[in-house]
């Protein structure tokens, strides 16, 4: 058995509902003899609020709260290759390693090397915005985006005219939900 909690990064549960945090859920799971797994989806490793972005739960915080297994993406917010990452206690990860499908689902050498290179960037947090393309793009000032859009607009408009018109519009967007 297993208790799984999924982070609601790209959907909302509405109505008469309540969320139970991991620190509350972990003792309940463990008292029942069950491991607690949390799927974070996008998987940020640093506090995005420090960069002016919406905060996301961190894998290290979930482990500190008592989760046995935390899963998240290697791409998206982490900024590495497309991969599913699993972190957790030695016991829980040891059980996963014994699963017969593990060999078929493991990361191959090239994506593994790309993931290692990405994770090494996190060892220098003071350079992360400069060195990690995903974070650099997510923290790009709106004025810089507007200037780039203005530069691209004439060529794009000419390419699709006269069937379509092209204009720039300032909008709010959301990180996640498949947008990365």
Predicted local confidence at residue 8, as pLDDT: 83
Give the model's pLDDT for residue 102. Answer: 83
Owning domain of residue 70: 3-138
Average pLDDT over residues 12-24: 89
Is residue 147 in a domain? no
Whether residue 175 is predicted with pLDDT greater than 80 in this model: the reply is: no
For residue 112, being part of any structural domain is answered with yes
Q: Is residue 166 in a domain? A: no
Whether 42 shows a pLDDT value over 90: the answer reads: no
Q: Above 80 in pLDDT, residue 174?
A: no
Long-range contacts of 173-177 (CB under 8 A, 24+ apart): 175/42, 175/48, 175/53, 175/54, 175/77, 175/138, 176/9, 176/10, 176/41, 176/42, 176/76, 176/77, 177/9, 177/10
58 domain-assigned: yes
pLDDT at 9 over 90: no
Q: Please tell me the pTM assigned to this model.
A: 0.85
Q: Is residue 51 part of a domain?
A: yes
Which residues, other chains included, contact 55 with Cβ-Cβ below 8 Å and sequence gap of 6+?
Answer: 47, 48, 49
- Is residue 172 assigned to a domain? no
State what percent of residues in the chain have pLDDT above 90: 74
Query: Is the model more confident about 18 or about 28?
Result: 28
User: Each residue of 78-112: pLDDT tens digit?
Assistant: 999 999 999 999 999 999 988 888 888 888 999 99
Residue 95's CATH number: 3.40.640.10
Please indicate, yes or no, if residue 174 is contained in any of the structural domains. no
Structural domain total, the chain: 1
């Amino acid at each position: 058995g297993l208790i799984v909690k999924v982070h609601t990064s790209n959907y909302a549960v509405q109505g008469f509902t309540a969320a139970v945090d991991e620190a509350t859920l972990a003792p309940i799971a463990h008292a029942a003899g069950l491991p607690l797994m949390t799927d974070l989806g996008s998987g940020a490793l640093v506090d995005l609020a420090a960069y002016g972005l919406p905060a996301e739960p961190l894998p290290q915080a979930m482990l500190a709260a008592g989760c046995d297994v935390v899963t998240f993406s290697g791409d998206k917010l982490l900024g590495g290759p497309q991969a599913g990452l699993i972190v957790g206690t030695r016991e829980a990860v040891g059980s996963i390693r014994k699963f017969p499908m593990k060999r078929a689902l493991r990361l191959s050498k090239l994506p593994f090397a790309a993931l290692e290179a990405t994770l090494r960037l996190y060892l220098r947090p003071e350079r992360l915005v400069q060195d990690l393309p995903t974070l650099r793009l997510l923290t790009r000032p709106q004025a810089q985006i507007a200037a780039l859009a203005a530069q691209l607009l004439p060529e794009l408009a000419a390419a699709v005219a006269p069937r379509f018109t092209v204009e720039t519009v300032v909008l709010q967007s959301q990180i996640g939900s498949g947008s990365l």
